[in-house]
Amino acid sequence: MLRNLQNRIAKLYDPVEAYWEGDSNQRIIGTVIVFTFLISLGLIHLNIIGLLPDSISVFIAKKHYAAIEVAFVVLLTVEVISLIFSLPRSLARSVQKQFEIMSLILLRNAFKEFSNFSEPIDWSNSYDTIFHILSDSISALLVFLGIYLIRRVRVHCSITKSGNSQKKFLTTKKVISVLLMFTFVYLAIQDGYLFMTHSETFKFFSAFYNVLIYTDILMILVSLRYSYRYRVLFRNSGFALATVLLRLSLSAPVYYNAVIAVFSVLFVYVITLIYQQMRKRDL
């Protein structure tokens, strides 16, 4: 009975994933991001010159730079959904996707700092902001480099020994992915409701990374059903720790967030490098 329930939930994954990864949907997403940026820019300009009613004006920023942040929020949302669909492929691919999101968050933070500039920019009072931008942009670049290095050394291989076990493991991961998608939608609706009612919102991406921590731990425990090799256990546990570090980076103050993010990607790179060497020796 439990197996039948798992199969039914897993069947929800395939058609949704196929549509999301399809070329037509990717073009739609690109178009939505472009129009989001342009519409945000237009609304901000209308708000600056005072043409928006008060009921709408309270939701709109009064600096043009904020339009960049809005576009990045949409882009990050798209990347988080792609992360959810990457879970059934491999835990390593999922962690790599988390680093991709982290690099974009760092870039968003850099763009967000532009809102501290006056229009036009007054350099005499902007040195702290410039250093913050440099910190976030350089750390984003280092994380980007770390992703490249991880891709170079990572070789995907199944941890299961039989096709039947691999199929069951994949089904379980699809179930977790579907449940994670429902959690994502719930958090998005809740945060959106708080924003619309002028209540204090929570940081959506930080909250979702909290969920990812527990998801990674669950994936480790599930993988123990199919492999109890030490190198697999250590690698997966290390990946879960990297997720915790990324969560800390999201809530850390400037400079510290950059150091934690760069360390986490370096940590995963070293684990992946050692894991691949151990796997070669076992073979």
pLDDT 10s digit of each residue in the chain, 283 long? 566 777 777 778 888 888 888 878 888 888 998 999 999 989 888 888 888 887 778 778 887 778 888 888 888 888 888 888 888 877 788 888 889 999 988 988 888 877 666 666 666 666 778 888 899 999 999 999 999 999 888 776 666 666 677 778 888 888 888 888 889 888 888 888 887 776 776 677 788 888 888 888 888 888 777 777 888 888 888 988 998 898 889 888 889 999 999 999 999 999 999 988 888 777 6
Angstrom distance (rounded) from CA 281 to CA 172:
30
| Selection from 170, 136, 156, 185 nearest residue 93 by Cα | 156
pLDDT of residue 126: 67
For the chain, how many residues are written?
283
- The count of domains in the chain is 1
Q: Is the dihedral of CA 167, 169, 175, 177 positive or negative?
A: negative
Angstrom distance (rounded) from CA 159 to CA 166:
8
The residue type at 255: Y
Neighbouring C-beta atoms of residue 171, cutoff 10 Å: 18
Q: The pTM is what?
A: 0.82
Angstrom distance (rounded) from CA 48 to CA 40:
12
pLDDT of residue 257: 92
CA within 13 Å, CB half, 66: 15
Range of the domain at 189: 2-282
Angstrom distance (rounded) from CA 58 to CA 38:
19
